Amino acid sequence: MSKYVIFLGAAGSGKGTQAQVLKTQLDLIHLSTGDLLRQAMKDKSDLGLKAQSFVDSGNLVPDDLIIELVKTQLLSSNALEHGFILDGFPRTLAQAEALDVMLSDLSISLSAVVLFDLTLEDTVDRIVGRRVCSHCQFVYHINSIGDSTDCSNCGSKDSLVHRPDDTKEKVMHRYDVFKSQTEPLINYYKHHLYTLDAAQSPNSITTELSANVF
Ligand code: AMP
């Protein structure tokens, strides 16, 4: 049966890493609003130009832009058939309410909302050492790859980058934004919520999610 799952959590809590693994294992649609915005900014599309200053400063992009983006993506994907992981959306109550309408229009019921629970200290440590492939978005940490800039996932050379919004100051600000604007969703989704300890190893988390959510 297809699963329709939201991943909720601060930057660096492992949402993207798990989504990439589970999407391949389970043939799900992975919809990351952060990845879509970065692509739009790279393409200098209308959305990208409007979003740039918000992303650069670690603030949230206005709800109307994000809701339109997700609506377009959900309608043009095979989400109903394959199931989905929404990674980084919704991040505000207004986005959650808009999502309810979209899902109801598509006759989809949420399967679960997973909260990736991680302290500020761990968040900063992970993000400052994070490197991301600019081609396939695969995520690495310098603790395991050292100085390498090649992506072993897609084979691209010199493609691993340190995102400009992944500095310590910006991560601390993004954590505050998460606490003030996204944490209220924990209560909104209390009937669907599955909380996991995001400080565990990626493999343990995949095992836990496979056993209890997917
Ligand atoms: P992420 O890759 O999920 O950490 O997102 C990077 C940045 O994109 C965030 O700091 C926000 O500026 C923006 N962003 C991503 N998703 C959303 C969203 N659902 N609502 C508003 N802004 C978002």
For residue 123, is it within any domain? no
The answer on 139 and 173 residing in a single domain is no
For residue 134, is it within any domain? yes
The answer on 159 and 84 residing in a single domain is no
- Give 55 Cα–ligand 1 centroid separation in angstroms: 7
Which of the four pLDDT bands, split at 50, 70 and 90, describes residue 124?
Answer: very high
Confidence check: pLDDT of 179 > 90: yes
Judge if the beta carbon of residue 41 lies within 6 A of ligand 1. Answer: no
Which of the four pLDDT bands, split at 50, 70 and 90, describes residue 78?
Answer: confident
Structure tokens at 43: 């393409």
Q: What percent of the chain shows pLDDT beyond 70?
A: 100
Q: Averaged over 39-65, what is the pLDDT?
A: 96
Residue 66 and residue 72 in contact, taking contact as beta carbons nearer than 8 Å: no
Tell me what the pLDDT averaged over the chain comes to. 95
The answer on 90 and 45 residing in a single domain is yes
Q: Averaged over 22-26, what is the pLDDT?
A: 94
Structure tokens at 111: 């399967």
For residue 193, is it within any domain? yes
The answer on 187 and 95 residing in a single domain is yes
For residue 125, is it within any domain? no
Domain count, the chain: 2
What's the pLDDT at 1? 84
Judge if the beta carbon of residue 11 lies within 6 A of ligand 1. Answer: yes
Domain span holding position 203: 4-118+166-212
> Pocket of ligand 1, candidates 6, 13, 33, 68: which has the most ligand atoms within 8 Å of its Cβ, to mutate?
33
> How are beta strands 112-117 and 4-9 bridged, if at all?
parallel
Helices then strands, each counted (H, E), the chain: 11, 8
End-to-end Cα, the chain, rounded Å: 9
- Give 35 Cα–ligand 1 centroid separation in angstroms: 8
Residue closest to 106 by CA, chosen among 29, 183, 167: 29
Is the whole-model pTM more than 0.85? yes
